[in-house]
Structure 1
């Protein structure tokens, strides 16, 4: 049975912490500009001593500025959101000497097996990932009811008919609470629903269809004519796939635009600042994030996501799984500071097939009946 790691706070009753000074602050004098000597946040739990009390910043993320609000709570703000009069915490040390303490061992204190968030070096195509699949399946089953699961998808996740069905399964069975991606993942999933192709190739046989290179453009054009993907589902144009399941189950899709987008779909947000804010709504409460075959979206999501989240007053880790056929991509992700990531080298279709197969087993290892498969686990 899956159990969350227990978080152990630092012992702030020791003489060192008790004698540490309160943080030094300075007010913002110019909108969007932090005062000199500002402190920059990380993904790890950070405590700040304010009025003699060590306080945890709850919704943090990398490369933000900690601001003390009027109620004494601490908010991580991007530079662009700083306002004149904001009280910014100053200090470049993180060992308590300036009232700032960065804590990396909260989920491993007293555990001789080592830090749960340590870099997982040496993971390659030769690595056995069986335990990672099992752990992820158990984690998804746990967080379906007790967390917020975000899938970050590249278009490869919908380039195959069966992998599209796996993503339908994840949404229909509440193993997905939000989807991040770009124009392509939604466009090609809609193309699959309309033409049974992706970039003109049949989803089952990979046969190139006559004029198939028009299919994704025709899909975009249809949605733009109707005004939204929701309207396309309502009118019966889209009857299967990831987008259909998300619309039917009211699972939000956050689609970030890029400079090379075709169309794009009406739902795609091309303003990077706006889409970052929308993504942050979900990363602020995410407990598990699964990233498939998309380097840039994965890195962006990782940088927006802390290593922990506070749920019902309890501190728990945020788990990130990144899957790609390229070891370079996965190494790049870990090198960008997403320290809590578990990487799996795999073709995305193979990964999804295996994960669903594991999730459909009961506690004795037997596959569930077809009737049970269609119901929530």
Structure 2
């Protein structure tokens, strides 16, 4: 099986599409305000009929955005970034009736002939994930050289010695092109580098250290005293971990703030709009996303990522999205928020990370 499935575009010779009208636009009445009957984008491939049988594939579609169409150039824009007078695509139908076609089946796998009734048709913790892992190994090996791998990490990755070391090794081996996380992941990773603890627990034995509950506050305080994570790594002599690997390899990371944050670390972006924009820079490049044990961050990034990517040569490929968590709830929640293409691997983060590195090393 090919690592990257072949994309099948719509059949524009179909009578209904051949008869489709050109897409309409309306002027935005003010900055950050869309015209009535605006079209809201999905994360599926979307085509606009420009007239005379010419259909334009929108290159960077994503959820809950608008399309500004100038001639034959379509830009997907968050509503707050639309400027007054921008020509915004109008239409609420998706099958060509208003010159808009949403095409969710371009990468569809042919249905297997079989019984009308069968067991185990939904992913749960019961079925094995061997095939999912094998697919992921192939995808990561391919995208290390020919794609853009983005990781969305919760702090649990840094709470265990082996999972933390595995993530560090994956970054150093080139399997990470961008890291998205919050204050907690970076704080506890740096705490582990400084004190060998996570929230005061030894990252190997899980034994509680005396006054260990101060450790995360102490590392935040020391980093803030140094002025930046990079300077703290040098001044404190920190020499391992996830953030250390990113700094050493030049891998960009975005730390988005939360109302719950202690500190936060100097690099944490506390303005939610600025954090969105920083994350979108990587969402617009991602070809594979792996989200680990961070429900809200996974949903947030999932909303920014299309299900496809148009490459420089015009090839259309899928964006692979994996969510790794111990419960079906997180995977279902992500799908219910629109990221239906997300594939779940239901296991704990430590087992996943160690297994992944052992098979990619």
Q: Name the structure 2 match of 1:307.
A: 307
List per-residue Cα deviations over 1:199-240 (Å, max 9, x = no partner): 000011111111101100111011101111111223353210
Task: Name 1:349's counterpart in structure 2.
Answer: 350
TM-score, scaled to structure 2: 0.95
Partner residue in 2 for 1:296: 296
**Cα distance in 2 for residues equivalent to 1:6 and 1:328:** 31
Matched, 1:93 2:97: no
Contact 2:46 2:100 in 1 (8 A): yes
Q: What SS does structure 1 have at the residue aligned with 2:62?
A: coil
The CA deviation at 1:167 is 0.6
Partner of 1:337: 338
Q: Which residue of 2 aligns with 1:36?
A: 36
Q: What is the DSSP-based 3-state SS (H/G/I as helix, E as strand, rest coil) of the residue aligned with 1:26?
A: strand
Structure 1 residue aligned with 2:123:
123
Q: How does 1:76-91 map to 2 (within 5 A)?
A: 76-91=76-91
Cα offset for 1:18? 2.4
1:336 positional shift: 1.2
SS at match of 1:263: coil
Q: Is the 8 A contact 1:2 1:142 kept in 2?
A: no
Tell me which residue corresponds to 1:64: 65
Distance in 2, matches of 1:306 and 1:154, equals: 22
Following superposition of structure 1 onto structure 2, how do residues 1-377 of structure 1 map, counting pairs within 5 Å? 2-52=2-52, 53-69=54-70, 72-108=72-108, 111-113=110-112, 122-235=122-235, 237-312=237-312, 313-360=314-361
User: Per the alignment, in what secondary structure is the counterpart of residue 215 of structure 2?
Assistant: helix
Deviates more, 1:215-224 or 1:225-234: 225-234
Assess if the C-alpha contact under 8 Å between 2:3 and 2:138 holds in 1.
Answer: no
Deviation above 6 Å: which 4+ runs of structure 1?
A: none
8 Å CA contact retained: 1:291, 1:321: yes
* TM-score scaled by length of structure 1: 0.91
- State the alpha-carbon separation in 1 of the partners of residues 196 and 66 from structure 2: 48
Structure 1 unmatched runs, 5+ = 115-119, 361-377
Task: Give the drift of 1:15.
Answer: 3.5
Q: By how many angstroms is 1:8 displaced? A: 1.4
Encode CA deviations 1:104-154: one digit per residue, 9 max, x unaligned: 111127x3449xxxxx96222212111111111111110000100000000
1:368 is matched with which residue? none
- Worse-matched range after superposition: 128-137 or 16-25: 16-25
Cα RMSD of the aligned pairs, angstroms, is 1.5
Q: Distance in 2 between matches of 1:88 and 1:182?
A: 34
Aligned mates of 2:161, 2:360 — CA distance in 1: 19
Question: Partners of 2:215 and 2:3 in 1: how far apart?
Answer: 46
In the TM superposition, residue 316 of structure 1 has moved relative to its aligned partner by: 0.4
Q: How many residues align?
A: 353
Distance 1:17 1:264 in 2: 53
**1:164 and 1:311 mapped to 2: Cα distance?**
33
- State the distance in 2 between where 1:191 and 1:121 align: 43
1:372 aligned residue = none
- What residue in structure 2 maps to residue 374 of structure 1? none
- Unpaired stretches in structure 2, ≥5 consecutive residues: 114-119
Cα separation, 2, equivalents of 1:323 and 1:2:
23
Name the SS for the 1:235 alignment partner. helix
Aligned-partner Cα distance in 2 for 1:190–1:37: 49
Aligned to 2:116: none
Q: Secondary structure at the match of 2:244?
A: helix
CA distance in 1, matches of 2:323, 2:182: 17
